[in-house]
Amino acid sequence: MKKIALALLSAGLLVSAVAHAGPEDDRKQLVNYFKVKHGTIKFDDYVHGALAMDKDAKSQYDSIMEFPPFEGVVDAGKEMWEKPFKNGKTFASCFPNGGKNVAGNYPYFDDKLGKVVTFEMAINQCLKDNGEQEFKYGDVNTMGILTAYARTLSDGMRMNVKVSGPAALVAYEAGKDHFFRRRGQLNFSCASCHVDNAGNRIRSEVLSPSLGQATHWPVFRGGENLVTIQSRFVGCNKQVRAVPFAVGSEEYNNLEYYLSYMSNGLPMKASVFRK
């Protein structure tokens, strides 16, 4: 495994992700980094992303969430979730507890398949197992709308992603490598914005912290504009002028695996408003 060093200048610390450091060590180091750098922010508040670092934006968010403009989209997702398949079953039949408090266990590494399985992949497997046509991974009008509701069934659940076994660790390390690797014409990594400069402004926007980034998707930007976590990966890559990977690719699945593990212990909250 490659050694990845991240200079945490604001805290005066150096986190060295050496081969001997495991996922839980990585997570604790990240939590401690943000605790030192942003000590006034409570741990659970990191589910709010950049809003936790901007009181005015958080106040606006609270007002909008009283009567979310995207409620109709979430309701449409509920209809999809509850609509019977041709065999009479529903999506709820594919998940423990009818899909309640399960999304926080995703992604997970499937040793039989030899790859990371996301919540969206599990939904497509459900469709396949019931003789239905699978959704396109990045289609917001099917997979996006469905998960906009399905993930709300796990609101309040603490993220509980596991990295167990050597193959799972390889996938986790690949996701971590992606997060810290510089790319694109601007030579930025994910960490450049979401660790080193989290809380700072780029133009008029506050850069969100990586801690908690996997807890609140999909998000709605400016009304009913639905954005999934992996479509946001695409957007970030484009912003640093790098060629993005495909939504649902192994690269992005591994990145989501890493980020989700980093959010372990935080409560989930979907679907939410973002600027």
Binding positions for substrate are 232
**Residue list, annotated binding site for heme c:** 94, 126, 190, 193-194, 236
Nearest to 198 by CA among 60, 65, 63, 31: 31
Contact partners, residue 241, CB within 8 Å, separation at least 6: 184, 185, 186
Pick the catalytic residue from 13, 236, 239, 250: 236
**Residue list, annotated binding site:** 94, 126, 190, 193-194, 232, 236
Between CA 117 and CA 273 the distance in angstroms is 26
Bridge-based pairing of strands 201-202 and 115-117 is unpaired
Is 68 an annotated catalytic residue? no
Q: Using CA atoms in the order 266, 270, 272, 274, what is the torsion angle rounded to 10 degrees?
A: 60
Bridge-based pairing of strands 219-221 and 272-274 is parallel
Q: Is the Cβ–Cβ distance between 268 and 159 less than 8 Å?
A: yes
* Catalytic positions: 236
